[in-house]
Amino acid sequence: MSKRLATVLSCFALALGGAVTAAPAAQATPQACFYYVLEQHPQAATEVVERACRTGAKGGQESFRACYTELRRDYVPAVVAGEACRRAARS
């Protein structure tokens, strides 16, 4: 009985470790950027946010600036725009 319990607990621990390891990568997408903006600033235009997040997902300083500038033109607060563009670029 104790060997079975040890095996089950070991598998459970490995499964949890895998989930924790994969969790940061799951948020590293243009979708994470998109949903972050809409949660923080719901009145933002969805087309503008989608375009900006796709631009930011390319990575690099220029893509970040383009993403940020586009969100700011739509009156997304600076802190929200910066974080959203960072989320879009993470891989």
Query: Which letter does DSSP use for residue 91 in this model?
Result: -
Q: Per residue in 38-79, pLDDT tens? A: 999 999 999 999 999 999 999 999 999 999 999 999 999 999
| pLDDT surpasses 70 at 34 | yes
Encode pLDDT of 14-27 as tens digits.
Answer: 444 544 444 444 44
Q: Which helix (H) or strand (E) holds 56?
A: helix 46-56
pLDDT at 53: 97
Rounded CA separation 90/59 (Å): 8
**pTM (predicted TM-score):** 0.68
